Chains A and B, each alone.
Chain A
Amino acid sequence: LPAGLSQWFPALEVLDVSGTGLTEMGTELLSLPCLHTLLAKNNRLGGPGSLPKGLGQAPLARSLRVLNLSGNRFSEVPPVLLQLRGLRSLSLGGNRLQGIPPDIQELHSLEFLYLGGNFITAIPPELAKLPSLRYLVLCDNKIQSIPPQLAQLHSLRSLSLHNNLLTYLPREILNLVHLDELSLRGNPLVVRFVRDLTYNPPSLQELAGRTVKTRNIPYTPSDLPESLVRYLSLASNCPNPKCGGVYFDSCVRQIKFVDFCGKYRLPLMHYLCSPECSSPFSSASQSSTSQSESDSEDEASVAAHRMQKVLLG
């Protein structure tokens, strides 16, 4: 950036230095108090000095709303970027990112996050701590699974996941109430019913823990070693509404297919407390090979009401 930029244009609000071959943006940025939009796409940024060190303390940290660094060479999200507290829109599309830092949650004003076209393999659950996130783009990456916590993104309107390595989705995704758009094409999604019966029988500790919880056996912290009190607090409820049981570490992974709006069947991953929980409306698990499980109808009607458009393509 040219020296003296802030002296020449102290009231600068929008700066577009895209396609200029920049390798670093230096301290000139720090003295631009009114800057709310910085576009620096298609440059050669990505090395250690790409963004100036004092960024977190500069007026920019509170004033900057839009930052576009797409088409550069970042292999990680520069930590200093996470200090831009006022940031509403961030694009790092078409870079070389291998992952997303958990500290992304620091950008608590973020509404728009574009990370398409990188080499991201996993999504940190901390991403779900962004309360205002409306548009999340993760297409064209190498993502293998979605953390169920992502369903906590209550403001999410649009989620782009196409061209990744997903085989299923967490069932919690049905909780994204405001989601209008969801793209899933180009993922190796499981199409046929697959039952993974890898079931490790529960330990004695697990069995005892389940009994304590399901029978509501009272206990106080003075009754048990601290480690067991903590263990008991980690019980997960079996999602089978007819079961009402809990599980700790021992559970069955199962893929259920849910119709969205009667159009597409999506494979959703369930965790059940035992194989017997797979068909809640039938007494035995014999009829579980049918694809029209009644419990998925409940989920389907909820999903149809909430999710208006699924761009499976």
Chain B
Amino acid sequence: MEQPVQTETWKARSLEELIRILHQIFAEDKVSVEEVQTLMESYESNPEEWLQYAKFDQYRYTRNLVDNGNGKFNLMILCWGEGHGSSIHDHTDSHCFMKILQGNLKETLFEWPEKKGNGEMTKKSERVLRENQCAYINDSIGLHRVENISHTEPAVSLHLYSPPFNSCNTFDQRTGHKHKVTMTFYSQFGERTVC
């Protein structure tokens, strides 16, 4: 993804249409971050369209694959129970778009730790993302932690990663030490993955 090639404003009227337009956009050699973000935001969340992918787990957040974008991107739905959160993580040189489908998610941005980090990681900023908002991050922007801070409402988010990746680093906030982890899918295309 380099400079914007087209600045068309898409409007996705359904999840199916969103996926279709995404395939179209990613078929090109150059894709614009702004274009994708605008497209994702334009889709007005309709639970009927994504409920089949929204499988919650009692103990932690889940990743549910929706579409594998012909190898160009992964589109997935994440389900966060009350109090569920992620560790601080990077995005393995990929682009990450995160749109809220239901509830709210708090995103806390962190600076990359120093080479031989041995101190508390530096918080850059934090914000609460509301329904239908779409955030964007990549490794040059920084690291983040995403969490559902509500004690009463579950949250659902739609994520697009390009190129797709299945491992990343998690970071210990107190020391900056990192650890590589492999990510798995709780379900794929609406079917629970048994591992």
Q: Once the chains bind, are A180 and B59 in contact (CB under 8 Å)? A: yes
Name the interface residues of B144-195: CB closer than 8 Å to any CB of A. 145, 149-152, 170-175, 177, 179
A2 at the interface (CB under 8 A from B): no
Are A312 and B173 neighbours in the complex by a CB distance under 8 Å?
A: yes
**B58 adjacent to chain A (CB < 8 Å):** yes
Contact B83 A93 (CB under 8 A): yes
* Distance of A289 Cα from B58 Cα, bound (Å): 42
- List the one stretch of A74-82, A155-163, A223-231, A292-300 in contact with chain B: A155-163
State whether A160 touches B83 (Cβ < 8 A): yes
In contact, A183 and B85 (Cβ under 8 angstroms): yes
| Any B CB within 8 A of the CB of A137 | yes
Interface assignment of B65: CB less than 8 Å from any CB of chain A: no
Alpha-carbon distance A75/B6, docked complex (angstroms): 57
Q: A70-B151, A94-B152 are in contact. Are A311 and B175 (CB under 8 A)?
A: no
Q: Contacts A137-B83, A158-B60, A183-B85; is A264 near B152 (CB within 8 Å)?
A: no
Whether the pair B59, A157 counts as a contact (CB closer than 8 A) is yes
The interface residues of chain A lying within 8 Å CB-to-CB of B152 are 41-42, 70-71, 93-94
Flag B40-78 by CB within 8 Å of A: 1 or 0 each.
000000000000000000111000000000000000000
Could you tell me the distance between the alpha carbons of A180 and B60 in the complex, rounded to whole angstroms? 10
Distance from A21 Cβ to chain B, minimum over Cβ atoms (Å): 15
Partner of A117, one of B145, B151, B174: B151
| CB-defined contacts of B171 to chain A, threshold 8 Å | 313
For the complex, give the distance between the alpha carbons of A272 and B138 in Å.
Answer: 49
Contact of B82 among A114, A180, A191, A311 (CB under 8 A): A114
Q: Which residues A15-42 have CB closer than 8 A to chain B?
A: 41-42
How many angstroms between the C-alpha atoms of A160 and B82 in the bound complex? 11
- B85: which A residues are within 8 A, CB to CB? 162, 183, 311, 313
The contact size tier of chain A is 20 to 34
Q: Does A263 sit at the interface, judged by CB under 8 A?
A: yes
Kindly state the separation between the CA atoms of A93 and B173 in the bound complex, as whole angstroms: 25
CA distance A157 to B57 in the complex (A): 13
CA distance A116 to B153 in the complex (A): 12
- Residues of B near A264 (CB, < 8 A) are 172, 177
CA distance A140 to B59 in the complex (A): 17
A252 at the interface (CB under 8 A from B): no
Residue numbers in A under 8 Å from B145 (CB-CB): 313
List chain B residues, Cβ under 8 A from A183: 85
**Is A248 part of the contact surface with B, judged by Cβ < 8 Å?**
no
Q: Which residue of B lies closest to A185 (CB)?
A: B173
B9 at the interface (CB under 8 A from A): no
Output the least CB separation between B181 and chain A (Å): 9
Interface centre among B59, B82, B85, B175 (most CB of A within 10 A): B82
- Give every chain B residue within 8 A of A311 (Cβ-Cβ): 85, 87
Contact A191 B175 (CB under 8 A): yes
B177: chain A residues at CB < 8 Å are 263-264
Tell me the minimal C-beta distance from A160 to chain B in angstroms: 6
Please tell me if A128 contacts chain B, counting CB pairs below 8 Å.
no
Decide: B88 and A116 in contact? CB cutoff 8 A: no
C-alpha spacing A91/B83, complex, angstroms: 12
Whether B59 and A181, one on each chain, are in contact in the complex, defined by CB atoms closer than 8 angstroms, is: yes
User: B149 contacts which chain A residues (CB < 8 A)?
Assistant: 140
Task: Kindly name the residue among B85, B152, B175 whose own CB sees the greatest number of chain A CB atoms within 10 A.
Answer: B152
Q: Is A93 in contact with B172, judged by CB distance below 8 angstroms?
A: no
How far does the Cβ of B144 sit from chain A's closest Cβ, in whole Å? 11
Is A189 part of the binding interface, using a Cβ–Cβ cutoff of 8 Å?
yes
What 1/0 flags go to A275-313 for Cβ under 8 Å of B?
000000000000000000000000000000000000111
25 contacts between A and B (CB under 8 A): A70-B82, A70-B151, A71-B152, A93-B151, A94-B150, A112-B58, A116-B83, A116-B151, A117-B83, A135-B58, A135-B59, A140-B83, A158-B59, A160-B83, A162-B85, A180-B59, A185-B173, A263-B177, A264-B177, A311-B87, A312-B172, A312-B173, A312-B174, A313-B171, A313-B172
Give me 9 other A-B pairs in contact (C-beta within 8 A), A311-B87, A313-B170 excluded: A93-B83, A135-B58, A135-B59, A180-B59, A264-B172, A312-B173, A313-B88, A313-B145, A313-B172
For the complex of A and B, 10 pairs with smallest distance between CB atoms? A93-B151, A94-B151, A117-B151, A71-B152, A158-B59, A70-B152, A313-B87, A116-B83, A116-B151, A41-B152
On B, residues with C-beta under 8 Å from A are 58-60, 82-83, 85, 87-88, 145, 149-152, 170-175, 177, 179
